[in-house]
Amino acid sequence: METIIVTAGLIIEQGKTLVTQRMEGDSQGLLWEFPGGKVKQGEEPRQALRRELKEELGIEVEVGMIFDAVFHIYPENPIFLLIYYCRIQKGIPEPLGCNDLRWVTPEELKQLPMPPADGPIRNQLFLSEGSLLF
């Protein structure tokens, strides 16, 4: 099976994290995730993330340093998920290519149902005391 490279953006503003809800008919439908998507053949991951966030949310972002990387084997395909710190430069997020979006507090983020690959990233966001890393 071919490993699919996926990028996601970690966007935090005023103590809240942006998450999106997958479309109902999609794999892992209606679960919440960090926004992003698949890297196309020959595409640089940061460029793919900028493209995906523009298509799915109508925003332009500055892609910063990588926050984490997760390898997860799903029944369909294994994925290698790269998550980057991002900052919105232009636009207000709208659910153009997803079912819904939310800005969530750390407590709300802990409660959301997420795909298995996103869970370790969520866990990395919290210190042992349960507060956000930044």
Number of domains in the chain: 1
Residue 52 lies in a domain: yes
Residue 77 lies in a domain: yes
Residue 35 lies in a domain: yes
Residue 10 lies in a domain: yes
pLDDT in tens, 66-96: 999 999 999 999 999 999 999 999 999 999 9
CA 36 – CA 55 distance, rounded (Å) = 9
CATH number of the domain to which 77 belongs: 3.90.79.10
Q: Which residues contact 31 (CB under 8 A, 6 or more apart)?
A: 21, 22, 113, 114, 115, 118
Domain that holds residue 100: 4-124
Residue 130 lies in a domain: no
* Global pTM value: 0.91
